[in-house]
């Protein structure tokens, strides 16, 4: 495509290409799916197209609500033009309902409501398996200052305040989700993607998973679930 330069980085679900402007990059969304620190691999047909469109909708919504993001424009089915940022190597997880690793680690009941929502930090490091860390660990490793961590927590809660009711209006419970932030001109902005790969979404009518848990747990009807999320978010 015109204006797209060499590949700068390839991750598990996306590739990043240079754009015509040096302060911008193109995110290309792949169909590749991984789970359990990439021990499980597979393909979810058209996942890239769906995650690109869902992320576009959610980034635009967040921008309208005053949350700065790296989103600039969706270029094609699988390509999104974004601001170039320096990613903060912290996965910021927000939880409204007990599920996944939280249920396992603390022995809590899956489905229990968490109010107010909690925020967790994971150090983004494949070799270490993205460990759960606290503020002191991140400060010790010079990953983030207390002020940056306060801001990450605050931004994550603001994103939740926007997204939780947005999904509820579309009959989906936003159980939990993972965010990544980047630094651009000395400012923290939301980056990466927000999609059924990075959120747990439960159908409010049936309680069924409509997200990557269907892949993680071999629940079947994965493509159908992703398509349904797209329909409800963008339809
Ligand atoms: N998550 C993610 N990428 C990761 C780990 C988690 O997008 O590398 C998302 C996951 O989809 C869920 C939330 O973060 O919506 C919380 O995940 P959890 O800690 O429960 O871990 P999991 O059970 O997914 O391994």
Measure Cα distances from 32 to 12, 73, 152 in Å: 7, 23, 28
Residues of the chain with CATH 3.30.200.20: 7-83
Q: Is 50 left (phi over 0), alpha (psi -120 to 50) or beta?
A: alpha
Q: Is 220 helix (H, G, I), strand (E, B) or coil?
A: coil
Q: Is the peptide bond before 116 cis (omega within 30 degrees of 0)?
A: yes
Q: What is the 3-state secondary structure (H, E, C) of 61-92?
A: HHHHCCCCECEEEECCCCEEEEECCEECCEEE
- Give the relative orientation of helices 222-234 and 47-64 as an angle to the nearest 10 degrees: 30
Which residue out of 33, 35, 92, 101 has the highest number of ligand 1 atoms within 8 Å of its CB and is therefore the one to mutate? 101
Return per-residue pLDDT of the chain as tens, 235 residues. Answer: 456 899 999 999 999 999 999 999 999 999 999 999 899 999 999 999 999 999 999 999 999 999 999 999 999 999 999 999 999 999 999 999 999 999 999 999 999 999 999 999 999 999 999 999 999 999 999 999 999 999 999 999 999 999 999 999 999 999 999 999 999 999 999 999 999 999 999 999 999 999 999 999 999 999 999 999 999 999 9
- 7-83: CATH number: 3.30.200.20
Measure Cα distances from 81 to 36, 57, 70, 93, 208 in Å: 29, 14, 9, 24, 33
Q: Report the first-to-last Cα separation within the chain, whole angstroms.
A: 27
Residues of the chain with CATH 3.30.470.20: 86-222
pTM: 0.97
Q: Is there an atom of ligand 1 within 6 Å of 198 CB?
A: yes
86-222: what fold? D-amino Acid Aminotransferase; Chain A, domain 1 (3.30.470)
Which residue out of 14, 176, 213 has the highest number of ligand 1 atoms within 8 Å of its CB and is therefore the one to mutate? 176
């Amino acid at each position: 495509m015109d204006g797209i330069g060499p590949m700068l980085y390839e991750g598990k679900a996306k590739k990043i290409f240079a754009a015509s402007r040096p302060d911008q990059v193109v995110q290309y969304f792949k169909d590749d799916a991984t789970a359990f620190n990439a021990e499980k691999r597979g393909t979810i047909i058209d996942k890239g197209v769906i995650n690109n469109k869902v992320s576009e909708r959610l980034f635009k919504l967040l921008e309208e609500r005053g949350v700065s993001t790296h989103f600039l424009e969706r270029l094609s089915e699988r390509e999104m033009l974004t601001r170039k940022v320096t990613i903060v190597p912290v996965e910021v997880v927000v939880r409204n309902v007990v599920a996944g690793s939280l249920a396992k680690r603390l022995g809590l009941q899956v489905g229990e409501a968490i109010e107010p929502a909690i925020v967790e930090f994971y150090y983004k490091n494949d070799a270490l398996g993205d460990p759960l860390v606290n503020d002191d660990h991140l400060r010790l490793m010079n990953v983030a200052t207390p002020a940056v961590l306060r801001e990450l927590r605050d931004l994550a809660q603001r994103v939740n305040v926007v997204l939780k009711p947005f999904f509820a209006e579309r009959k989906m419970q936003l159980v939990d989700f993972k965010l990544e932030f980047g630094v651009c001109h000395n400012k923290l902005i939301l980056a990466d993607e927000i999609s059924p790969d990075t959120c747990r979404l439960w159908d409010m009518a049936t309680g069924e998973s409509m997200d990557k848990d269907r892949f993680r747990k071999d629940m079947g009807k994965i493509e159908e679930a992703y398509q349904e999320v797209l329909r409800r978010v963008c339809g």
